[in-house]
Copies of this chain bind each other. A is one copy, B any other.
């Protein structure tokens, strides 16, 4: 527990009304989307960069853990204060879009801006910010940068790191740094912005983000392909992505996922199908969209697609996407506890990945519905455990997850495509990284945060 004098000192820096250690606040900031709970010792709402700097310098001096937090919507415990300390909550005073520079297709934002609000603001100006994590309605851009968030449009448009041009951040010692530039090209000094992205709040506290925007494509069209079996669908994914056109998104639902959505929402989905692929193309000209849809249709059909349905209106397109958007909540029909992971493999390994998950499902006796962003090889794998209170069952669930991680690594994939490592995946870091690599991570951490005050206990870092 934090001594009262620390609370007093921090209140003096940020004002009484921006520092709390009452039970209500500690409970309100003890969770994230993992549903694990760790109470902090205090919750601080810095008003500006100077506050962030003052609080960090103090905590660095006093060796008090500081955990930066956006919306707390992460899936891996990145915002949980596992070692106590201070939650530095940025959603309150760091939620402004500072500039949308239409001349240079750039925006400057504070880290607490919600992704969707930002997307809407730039689209009102005819511009486009593609990264669209499923959490877009509530997750913040600071959190998106810290976890390098992806989304459905990554197949064509890439992920958060592809849009971060520059950052302002505060180091644990209170130093304010700028990293990167408002220019596409910049080769002066180490790529500090590059390493702050995906660093899960463990190297510095981001206080401002400069993002690249692009022109919003004028037209989009969506289509669905129905496949008899999942292997055909996975073949269609990688073959169509290599066919010379690049759809915005190429999402899939396996049979269990289709059936779950259908059971809950009665949308007339093909419950006999082994898998469906839902895809979108975009561009400025109708001819372009037609061309892309033709190539996709041909490629799908050459790979066992039994029905290819192009949405003929916005409503029809919305219907196609409804299934995809509601699958995560629907699959809870298969078990009270969902162990969901976001492994990613090279696209051509998708058929093998799904085949081996099917075998594991039989071996372990769990239903494992899979869906997700196959266009970039990112599969949401969900091991459904019927009774989370049955310790043995849960243990088997985690063992099954570990097998899945091993398969992903074996297929040259990664533990996490979007969610990060945080707390949840920390035990598996040694599956993916060598001793030398783990040592390098620890050395990088020390270069930024020698006292290990920023978000300690995450990412499997051993700080010796």
Chain A residues packing against B (C-beta within 8 Å): 101-106, 126, 147-148, 150, 154-155, 158-159, 161-162, 171, 175-179, 181-192, 194-195, 197-199, 203, 214-216, 218, 238-239, 241-246, 283-285, 287-288, 291, 344-348, 373, 376-378, 412-421, 425, 429, 432-434, 436-437, 439-441, 443-448, 459
Contacts and interface: CB of A to CB of B under 8 A. Distances in A.
A418 B185 CA distance: 7
B440 A192 contact: yes
A287 B285 CA distance: 8
A447 B437 contact: no
A159 B171 contact: no
Nearest to A243: B215
B188 A199 contact: no
Given A178-B437, A444-B190, A447-B447, A377 B102 contact: no
Given A176-B436, A287-B287, A190 B185 contact: no
A244 B284 contact: yes
Contacts of A417: 183, 185-187
A176 to B, nearest CB: 7
B447 A189 contact: no
Contact of A104 (B103, B192, B348, B437): B348
27 contacts: A103-B346, A103-B348, A104-B346, A104-B347, A105-B241, A154-B185, A159-B184, A159-B185, A161-B194, A181-B414, A182-B413, A183-B377, A183-B413, A185-B373, A185-B376, A185-B414, A186-B416, A186-B417, A187-B414, A187-B421, A188-B433, A190-B199, A215-B242, A216-B244, A284-B288, A285-B285, A447-B447
B214 A183 contact: no
Given A241-B105, A347-B104, A187 B198 contact: yes
A103 B238 contact: yes
Nearest to A102: B242
A198 B192 contact: no
A298 to B, nearest CB: 14
Residue of A155, A246, A346 most packed against chain B (CB within 10 A): A346
Nearest to A147: B187
A346 B185 CA distance: 10
A155 B214 CA distance: 12
Contact of A191 (B154, B199, B285, B416): B199
Contact of A171 (B194, B198, B347, B436): B436
A175 B439 contact: yes
A448 B444 CA distance: 8
B183 A238 contact: no
Given A103-B347, A105-B241, A284-B244, A444 B441 contact: no
Contacts of A416: 186-188
A189 B244 contact: no
A269 to B, nearest CB: 27
Contacts of A448: 440, 443
A437 B177 contact: yes
B444 A183 contact: no
B377 A188 contact: no
Contacts of A185: 148, 150, 154, 159, 344, 373, 376-378, 414, 417-418
Nearest to A442: B447
